[in-house]
Amino acid sequence: MSIVTFFVYAKLLTPEQFGYAIFALAVGQGIAMIFANLFEDALIQQSAPSKKHYDTAFWGGLIFSLLSCSLVAIWLLSTQSNRVLTELIAFSLLIIVFVGMSSIYVANARMEGDFKLLAKRTVIARLIGAACGITMAFKGFGPLSVVIQAVLIEVISFFYLAVRRPQRIGFDVGITEFKELSAIGWLLCLRRLSWDGTTRGLPLILGTVAGPAAVGLYGFAWRTVEMPRSAISSGLMSYALPTFSRKKDDKEELQELFIGMTRYTALLVVPLFVGLAATAPTLIPLIFGDKWLEAIVPVQVMSLIGLVSLLRVYAPSLFTALARPNVSLTSDIVSTLAALVCTLILADDFGVYAAVFGLITRSVISVPFSVIGINKVLKLNGFSQLSPVVVPCIASVGMAVVVHMLGYVMSQTTPWVLFIYQIIGGAIVYFSLVLILMPNVKTHWGLFINR
């Protein structure tokens, strides 16, 4: 559904209009993802939180959300920003409040394994949000369509959970419970800030220095990659944290889980993102038209960066489950600051490519420390952590070579025909190489899933 709405917005909005929407959501969604769910993962880490924990988490999260909104409102009043942009940012602040109120419901469902409820809530909210956003886009509401869709998704998500999974909220707020939750929660906020601060901060810097057109190109490239990446990572992390938390006292079991989950995640996500990078020169003009040609290289680079983040997706959940969210936190913050500074310095001369350089900088700094952190808490050396992804990477390189050769040999072919041949040819090569290099993959996969 996100992909469908993205296609519509890319067709109907100009890069500048799209840039306004991305800039506004960078504020509302960025703050919401970092601070509004301050206590969600902290509740899950408790394994069996009391009602007092829930009351404390709800009111603490709501107060932090309202405080964040107030600070942004003061900033908007003190600046002489574009009126349209100011209104879009102000409207996006509703996201912060509703994400904050939803967090305890989401935490409770995750702890009890009720992922079906969470999935239904996501589908229903996105259906209604997409219907409203697309309708408004066709009626000429421009960037407001994108922001309204995002706000509606969070509003509907909250009310769906509140009705379907009612949680009695009282006023039994405890200082001890607040300290227990915030001891984990604020470190998790810093970790989220290290990622969301990059993804939301880069468009803010681009918009300030290079203008809305550069933000539009960045937003297009980022969303092309981020939609599948976030869909995959959010599901994996929602499942991983309660699973790791239940096994936190058995290091050997955790080691096997981490390696197995990394291996089979890699088998699925490596070809997806390498394939996106390889087919981008065909796919983007075919679907979106020539006005987005400048986004091809950013899409290709961001695809590989997104892949790296997915291959390390279980590290933060593991640190949280073991009550060690501070592990590699400093390197995450440093890498985020380096990315923002790199973008700020280069934005005036390189536009959207400055943000691409910033993302590369962040990955180069943060990934080695993530490997060191896992070795520190789980006693898994770098080779043990990286070996599960070797076969998928080798097979994907072969796939990418075939896709590139088909693009060269069939350059005069109709774009749709070329794209279909690239998908089919790449898939055949990938799965053939995987079966050659891992002949027992099907049996091992079945055993792991059953376990």
Q: What is the pLDDT of residues 394-417, one digit of tens each?
A: 999 999 999 999 988 887 888 889
Integer distance in angstroms from the first to the last C-alpha of the chain? 32
Which stretch of 94-103, 166-175, 343-352 has the lowest confidence by average pLDDT? Answer: 166-175
pLDDT tens-digit readout, 116-125: 888 899 899 9
Res. 393 pLDDT band, cuts 50 70 90: very high
HEC per residue, the chain = CHHHHHHHHHHHCCHHHHHHHHHHHHHHHHHHHHHHCCCHHHHHHCCCCCHHHHHHHHHHHHHHHHHHHHHHHHHHHHCCCCHHHHHHHHHHCHHHHHHHHHHHHHHHHHHCCCHHHHHHHHHHHHHHHHHHHHHHHHCCCCHHHHHHHHHHHHHHHHHHHHHHCCCCCCCCCCHHHHHHHHHHHHHHHHHHHHHHHHHHHHHHHHHHHCCHHHHHHHHHHHHHHHHHHHHHHHHHHHHHHHHHHHCCCCHHHHHHHHHHHHHHHHHHHHHHHHHHHHHHHHHHHHHHCHHHHHHHHHHHHHHHHHHHHHHCCHHHHHHHHCCCCCCCHHHHHHHHHHHHHHHHHHHHHHCHHHHHHHHHHHHHHHHHHHHHHHHHHHCCCHHHHHHHHHHHHHHHHHHHHHHHHHHHHCCCCCHHHHHHHHHHHHHHHHHHHHHHHCCCHHHHHHHHHHC
Which pLDDT band, with edges at 50, 70 and 90, does 278 fall under? very high
pLDDT at res. 227: 81
pLDDT of residue 257: 86
Residue 35: predicted pLDDT = 61
Find the mean pLDDT for residues 430-446: 83
Query: pLDDT band for position 202 (50/70/90)?
Result: confident
Instruction: Provide the pLDDT confidence category of residue 449 given band limits of 50, 70 and 90.
Output: low
Confidence of residue 432 (pLDDT cuts 50, 70, 90): very high
d(CA 434, CA 393): 10
- Tell me what the mean pLDDT of segment 179-198 comes to: 73
Please give the pLDDT value at position 272.
Answer: 93
**Whole-model pTM above 0.75?**
no
Kindly state the percentage of the chain with pLDDT values over 70: 96
Residue 368 has pLDDT above 80, yes or no: yes
Lowest mean pLDDT among 146-160, 187-201, 306-320: 187-201
Tell me the per-residue pLDDT of 132-151, one tens digit each, with 9 for 90 and over. Answer: 999 998 888 888 999 999 99
Whole-number mean pLDDT of the chain?
A: 84
Overall size of the chain counted in residues: 451
Q: Which of 128-142, 186-200, 434-448 has the lowest mean pLDDT?
A: 186-200
* Rounded distance between C-alpha atoms, residue 414 and residue 261, angstroms: 40
pLDDT band of 251, cuts 50, 70, 90: confident
Q: What percent of the chain has pLDDT over 90?
A: 21
> For residue 36, is pLDDT > 60?
no
Comparing 41-50, 52-61, 88-97, 216-225, the range with the smallest average pLDDT is 41-50
Contact 306, 341 (CB under 8 A): no
pLDDT of residue 37: 58
Indicate the pLDDT class of residue 204, thresholds 50, 70 and 90.
Answer: confident
pLDDT at position 441 is 76
| Mean pLDDT confidence for 293-322 | 88
- The predicted-structure confidence for 205-236, as pLDDT tens digits, reads as follows 887 788 777 888 888 888 888 888 887 887 78
| Among 310, 21, 271, 8, residue whose Cα is nearest residue 148 | 21
- Cα 362 to chain center, whole Å? 15
Segment 340-347 shows an average pLDDT of: 90
